[in-house]
Amino acid sequence: MNGRLDMVEALGASLSGLRNSRAEVAVCPPFPYLAALARTLGDSGVQIGAQNVSSHEDGAFTGEVSAEMLADLGCRYVIVGHSERRALYGEDDELVGEKFLRAQQGGLIPILCVGETLREREAGETEQVVVRQVSSVLDVAGIGAFDQAVVAYEPVWAIGTGETATPEQAQEVHARLRAALAAEDASVASRIRLLYGGSVKSDNAALLFAQPDIDGGLIGGASLSADEFSAICLAAE
């Protein structure tokens, strides 16, 4: 929940310069700015997505936004299960699974976020937590649904704190996530994009993205600066 219209338009104008980038780039602004960003980006090839979606198709759910509404605005992606949604708004694995399904039914590609807290990491529960979070979606959606999905590992202890998992730590979790998916379907697991999110910056992006199971980044605070975000996008190339 950052930014104002002028900042969003400036970011969009800057990213339009990535027209020929070999990396796929998507931006997920707050709901009110989706249409303005879509206009600014035009035919640049940069995709837009949303930060959240309702688990319902339509109806008397005041304040909610449906997948179909987001698709109408040109969204291709939507984030589901972000750690802040889980921690601040009580979204559990079951609700995240419902949103994942609803997003796909409404024509969107869900970016499923998983990750452990500092307490869970210190207790040696990282693998257990992230595999449980993925498995809860597998149980309701099936492995085939992951052919039209993205998974983002975001260690909660590294979000907005300035702390970053080392490339080796991040790779270890990414490899475990890919293995969990491969246990269901090796072909799907090989194709899916696994993103790292957790204080990614221009000065650490290339090392993170060089890891064999890290296919890109889910960028938070660094995306508030057009120059910093563009530099991260270039690192992804």
Q: Which of 82, 91, 116, 174 is catalytic?
A: 82
Helices 93-105 and 126-141 sit at what angle, rounded to 10 degrees? 40
**C-alpha closest to that of 236 among 25, 4, 20:** 25
* 216 marked as part of a ligand binding site: no
Cα gap 8→222, rounded to integer Å: 14
Structure tokens at 139: 């149980």
Q: Which of 91, 98, 116, 154 is catalytic?
A: 154
230, amino acid identity: S
Query: Does the active-site annotation cover 82?
Result: yes
Looking up tokens 């693998």 gives 127
Query: Does the active-site annotation cover 154?
Result: yes
* 160 marked as part of a ligand binding site: yes
Reduced to 3 states (helix: H, G, I; strand: E, B; else coil), residue 143 is helix
Q: Tell me the DSSP string of 146-192.
A: GGG-EEEE--GGGSSSS----HHHHHHHHHHHHHHHHTT-HHHHHHS
* 14 marked as part of a ligand binding site: no
* 81 marked as part of a ligand binding site: no
DSSP state of 193: E
- Binding-site residue numbers for substrate are 160, 199, 220-221
- Binding-site residue numbers are 160, 199, 220-221
Catalytic residues: 82, 154
